Chains A and B, each alone.
Chain A
Amino acid sequence: MKVTVRYFGKIQEVTDLSEEHWDIAESLTIDAFRAYLIEKYPALKNETYQLAVNQELLDLNKTIPAMAEIAVLPPFSGG
């Protein structure tokens, strides 16, 4: 099933993209998706970020619905 993955802040520098479309297995959990993400971008292993699904930060064991928008959000510190 199709999902849109959006990258923010420093994560964009790791992926070199602000957004991309993925085809993922149905009933994939957020935690499992995170593993795929690191497989594709190994440098993410050392980064701190949260995953939001359809604009919501959810438990990692929740499954991702079809057509979901997944945001990969790192903290910012600047001021």
Chain B
Amino acid sequence: MIMNSEAKIRYNRHLILDGVGLAGQERLMAARVLVIGAGGLGCPILSYLTAAGVGRIGIVDFDEVDKSNLQRQVLFRTEDIGKNKASAASKHLQALNPLVTFDAIEERLSNQNALDLFEQYDIIIDGTDNFSTRYLINDAAVITGRPLVYGSIYKFQGQVSVFNYKQGPSYRCLFPEPPKPGQIKNCSEIGVIGVLPGIIGTQQANEAIKLILGIGEPLSGKLLIYDALNASSTVLKVDRNEATIKKVIDQKADFLTFDYDRFCGMNTKIESDQIDPQDFSDLLNDGDHLIVDVRELWEVPELIGDNVLQLPIDELKAKIETLQTVKKIVLVCQSGVRSKQIKEYLETTYKMNNLFELAGGINALKDLT
């Protein structure tokens, strides 16, 4: 590879740095990295990989930029609201570095597209926000033999690691089974300090660049936990579990049909006590139904209708007697997790039998439009 003068100027601080140099920069320019999720973690990951001159970067995100993303997803501008994240990100990144090739993949990562996608890249970076996709990414990385740079966040804390690198462990060696549904809430339900994904995503970018350059010690076999409140880092040793990895490889044939949503307790089938998001608009303003929005008052988008009652969890208990007299109640929350828990609670504690819940919550309504 002959580096042109534009590249020599752009990457000067790499070229003069011991440990990178011309050979290292050429490695970066030849590397192909797939970043899944262009959100809080994805934005810093993508920014630094692009600036560093990684040759080809794939960006997978089916979602659109929402105003509430701008508090931390620093690649996006206010005018990007409503645009697909993968393509909006690649547009801004291309302006940052015209020497990089971007593949904007406006799809949800699934077991149908994961293996083909992974095979086109050298390194996979997980910047997603749910367990179902995280297990899917891990298994696809194990099956395709791709190193995986993992990062995740919870409120003020983050985790970073490198999985499937050489003979290192996988995500399943650390957490063999996902938690029960609703147990660990994500940023859209409990909030996150905006700078945290910036710190964790930047650490992931650093790990990916180290893997490409072959320098330093990758976080393979180690889990770094960072606490933003006291600026402390803890590193735990994680061992490879041969049986766990073998099981994933042995079940390669089943990968295409394995239901990761169900594995993580997310039931995608509409049950008889659930309202299909497609049918929800018929129930708004319908006198036979009372729609109880159990979200906190500050949560958006606001649900508007003649028969909508805002009753956050704390206020709900005081209104039980009234609710017991209503014919049909549809419980609604942001993602369908809280409404399910409240429904179970009311049915068990107050023997209520007039309850339905909106499957997938308000988020599912957004997907329809």
Known contacts A73-B236, A76-B154: does B179 contact A48 (CB below 8 Å)? yes
Q: Note all chain A residues with C-beta closer than 8 A to B157.
A: 8-9, 76
Q: Note all chain A residues with C-beta closer than 8 A to B237.
A: 52, 55-57
Q: Is B88's CB within 8 Å of the partner chain A?
A: no
Q: Is the CB of A79 within 8 A of B225?
A: no
- CA distance in complex: A41, B197 (Å): 30
Known contacts A10-B154, A48-B183, A56-B236: does B41 contact A75 (CB below 8 Å)? no
Q: Note all chain A residues with C-beta closer than 8 A to B128.
A: 79
Task: Mark A59-74 against chain B: 1 for CB-CB distance below 8 A, else 0.
Answer: 0000000000001011
Q: Is the CB of A47 within 8 A of B154?
A: no
- CA distance in complex: A48, B183 (Å): 8
Q: Is the CB of A9 within 8 A of B154?
A: yes
- CA distance in complex: A46, B234 (Å): 25
Task: Mark B230-259 against chain A: 1 for CB-CB distance below 8 A, else 0.
Answer: 000011111100000000000000000000
B-side interface mostly: mixed
Count the A residues whose beta carbon is within 8 Å of the partner chain — how many? 20
Task: Mark A1-40 against chain B: 1 for CB-CB distance below 8 A, else 0.
Answer: 0000010111000000000000000000000000000000
CB distance from B36 to the nearest CB of A (A): 9
Q: Is the CB of B177 within 8 A of A79?
A: no
Known contacts A52-B236, A55-B235, A56-B237: does B153 contact A75 (CB below 8 Å)? no
Interface segment out of the listed B105-113, B184-192, B207-215: B184-192
Task: Mark B150-182 against chain A: 1 for CB-CB distance below 8 A, else 0.
Answer: 011111011100000000000000110111100
List 18 A–B pairs whose Cβ atoms lie within 8 Å, in order of A's numbering: A9-B154, A9-B155, A9-B184, A10-B154, A46-B180, A48-B184, A50-B175, A55-B234, A71-B236, A73-B223, A75-B131, A76-B158, A77-B131, A78-B129, A79-B37, A79-B128, A79-B152, A79-B153
The interface of chain A, by Cβ under 8 A from chain B, is 6, 8-10, 46-48, 50, 52, 55-57, 71, 73-79
The interface of chain B, by Cβ under 8 A from chain A, is 37, 39-42, 126-131, 134, 151-155, 157-159, 174-175, 177-180, 183-184, 186-187, 192, 197, 223, 225, 227, 234-239
